[in-house]
Amino acid sequence: MDSTSLKAWIPGGKKPWDQARAAHLLRRTGFAPTISEVRQALLDGPGKTIDKLIDTTIDSQRHDELDEIGRGIAARQDIEALRGWWLMRMRYTTRPLHARLALMWHNHFATSNAKIGSPPMMLTQLRSIEKYAAGQFFDLLLAMSKDPAMIVWLDGALNLKGRPNENYARELFELFSLGAGNYTEKDIQESARAFTGWSQKNSVYRFRQREHDEGEKIILGTRGNLNGTDVCSIASKHPACARFIASRLLHEFVTPAPEDQLVQNLADELAKSDMNIAESLRTLLKSEAFFHASAYRARIKSPIEYVLGMARSLDLDVPAQLLASVTVQMSQSVFEPPSVKGWDGHRAWINSTTMLVRLNAAQHAAEMVQKPEDFFATPLSADGTSDIRSFGDLLLDGRVPAPLVQRLKALDTSKAAQAHQAINLLLTSPEYQMA
């Protein structure tokens, strides 16, 4: 096993396709599995499970229904309710990997309603992200460049011929495609000119021909009468872009500290597929790097992973507005990221306040479980392994740390109150904070 290799992982010997590895895959590609999802994955094997995650198509009737509800909420100008709506969609999604991708791109192209002030525009942007999330990166970059919320967010409508505004061009290179250090200030100025006239009116993209600068520009070595589409194309074909997006995918799905070699390997894969996200992801999820021991429980869960994970694993019905308020208190306010850089993630999720909110949320979640004593019917054995019915297995992949096993054994889990306490101890354990 090589932690940087994208070679397909073949289970066997001391590294079988087992509960821990199945749960690892399902945590990274969704919001923590239920018992039945783990069982299904164990039956299907890794290859089929991953293909299903990627290839499951939209249930269009369900999708349309949810869409209609979302549009109704947005039309009421209620961003809190829209946040709850999105979180509920993630909670009950049939396409968890695609939900994770949409969330990842929302963070990548971080746009905040705090400036936009229009829930319908935020919803339009989300639908656009969802449409292109798994396709070619160029299409997504272009869609975001024409997205009305993005145009308001980074002052695109004020970027006019003879009076360029650099705001969008700078972030396109620094945060959306190449990363700092791969372009010059001149490239930014020239790209700002290329995007002049890309505007919006009444929340719809509009190209204002008269405000577009038709002059010659030189951008990252390409010369000509370039426009915004050209900039997206030049940027998405740039080798730095493949590395930048590879790094984003690795942080999201594999490890907070990907080795350079792994970044390069995935960048090569992206470049080979013309920056196709789904196909590169398929290779990545099936790889030795993904199933390497160093990736297991290596990421700190985001608030959404933590909260939706508890709700899903424990089968809790949590009201939408509660999902919204609790994730905001843990500092992940979807539709209102802190800045255009989005959330830093990993260790940045954790501080005194957010940790306290996590601990309090865990206690509340534990107490919401009905008949908790049933789930502890099979006692934990000393090494933490037992039947999947037990919470220890469900929440910690059967790898309950030894001191916690002792603490749990001291509780009489045939009594509801102590069973609740046992669940709480599992949910507040440092291990459970890791994805």
- The interface with another protein within residues 189-248 (CB under 8 A) comprises none
Identify the DSSP state of 397: T
Closer CB to another protein, 124 or 327, in the complex: 327
Identify the DSSP state of 170: H
User: Are 253 and 262 spatial neighbours (Cβ–Cβ below 8 Å)?
Assistant: no
Q: Does 111 bind another protein (CB under 8 A)?
A: no
Chain positions 366 to 425 lying near another protein, rule: CB under 8 A, are 401-404, 407, 421, 424-425
Which of 125, 167, 280, 390 is close enough to bind another protein by CB under 8 A? 167
List Cβ neighbours of 330 (8 Å cut-off, separation of 6 or more): 303, 306, 307, 349, 354, 357, 358, 361
- Cβ 197 to another protein shortest distance, Å: 13
Per-residue binding letters, 123-162, with another protein (x by CB under 8 A): --------------------------------x--x-x-x
Closer CB to another protein, 276 or 363, in the complex: 363
Which of 233, 325, 381, 386 is close enough to bind another protein by CB under 8 A? 325
Q: Does 354 bind another protein (CB under 8 A)?
A: yes
Interface with another protein: number of residues (CB under 8 A): 75
- Cβ 312 to another protein shortest distance, Å: 13
Chain positions 249 to 278 lying near another protein, rule: CB under 8 A, are 256
Closer CB to another protein, 243 or 297, in the complex: 297
Closer CB to another protein, 171 or 279, in the complex: 171
Q: How many CB atoms lie within 10 A of CB 352?
A: 7
Q: Does 352 bind another protein (CB under 8 A)?
A: yes
Q: Where are the alpha helices (DSSP H) in 172-287?
A: 185-194, 228-237, 239-253, 260-272, 277-285
User: Are 194 and 225 spatial neighbours (Cβ–Cβ below 8 Å)?
Assistant: no
Closer CB to another protein, 47 or 345, in the complex: 345
Which of 204, 218, 359, 377 is close enough to bind another protein by CB under 8 A? 359
Secondary structure percentages of the chain, helix, strand, coil, to 5: 60, 5, 35
Chain positions 285 to 324 lying near another protein, rule: CB under 8 A, are 297-298, 300, 307, 317-322
DSSP for 29-96, written as a single string: TSS---HHHHHHHHHHHHHHHHHHHHHPPP-HHHHHHHHHHHHHHHHTT-HHHHHHHHHHHHHT-S-H
Question: Using CA atoms, how far apart are residues 217 and 213, in angstroms rounded to an integer?
Answer: 10
- Cβ 434 to another protein shortest distance, Å: 6
Closer CB to another protein, 11 or 430, in the complex: 430
Termini Cα distance of the chain: 21
Q: Does 179 bind another protein (CB under 8 A)?
A: no
- Cβ 65 to another protein shortest distance, Å: 6
Would you state the structure tokens that stand for residue 338, as one six-digit string? 């802190």
